[in-house]
Homo-oligomer: A and B are copies of this chain.
Amino acid sequence: MAKTNHTNQQTNIKTLSTIQTEVESINRIALSVDCVIFGFDENKLKVLLIRSDLKKFQGKWSLLGDLVDPKEELDSAANRILKQRTGLDDVYLEQVKTFGCLDRHPAGRVVTVAYYSLINIQHHKLKILDNELHWHDVNDITELAFDHKQILDCSFEQLQRRVQEHPLAFSLLPKKFSLRELQNVYEAILDTKMDRRNFRKKFFAMDFLVDIDQMEQDVPHRPGKLYNFNYNKYEKKKKKWVGIDF
């Protein structure tokens, strides 16, 4: 049974049969966690999906999830899933909502707590552990297994709201990024075009980007300056912006 053991990446991934054992034909509720793992690549917002192992949903894609162990915190379960599937620790994670429809899982009553997470695909690229995993354009997804389309929609909407009030975009980018890349993240998430001058003005005014005195490499045009996000500077200043910008 899965504990909060994050050291072994491939063990402890539950299968359908495990779930059926936990909930089969009984007056009981099983609890799971599902992770909506967002990434950013090719100027598109992506989500990491796996092929469903249920015959009912054969060929369909689904979110990454697992049952919660009775001795495991909810956040720990979400972190465990991320570690198992992407190899990444210290990922931005946020609980979205709990989904509990009676018929949402064919194996019985499984209530699931949805999380979304933001990861840097470049950082993750070399660590794909499972070739049934693939990144999909969020906007291209029309159908998923279980109620996972509903969970994805809800998570995406929450991301769209939150990204306008919290510095989440940086979690989708490498540590060093150009202002153009940053703007691309916002444009992809919010599905808008922004004015470059106003965008730069706004972020420089917030004063938590630090110019690291390096330029982009290997771009087929004039390279832009690279910046870091300074979380400490953000923390010190954010009170002023509550309800305003960030």
Contacts and interface: CB of A to CB of B under 8 A. Distances in A.
A49 interface: no
A224 interface: no
A101 interface: yes
A122 B181 CA distance: 54
A216 to B, nearest CB: 32
B95 A74 contact: no
B101 A70 contact: no
Contacts of A97: 95
Contact of A70 (B29, B70, B73): B29
A74 B104 CA distance: 12
Given A27-B70, A29-B29, A113 B95 contact: no
Interface string A1-42: 100000000000000000000000011111100000000000
Interface in A25-68: 26-31, 68
Interface string A88-101: 00000001011011
B113 A100 contact: yes
A102 interface: yes
A10 to B, nearest CB: 24
Interface in A102-129: 102, 109, 111, 113
B98 A98 contact: yes
A29 to B, nearest CB: 5
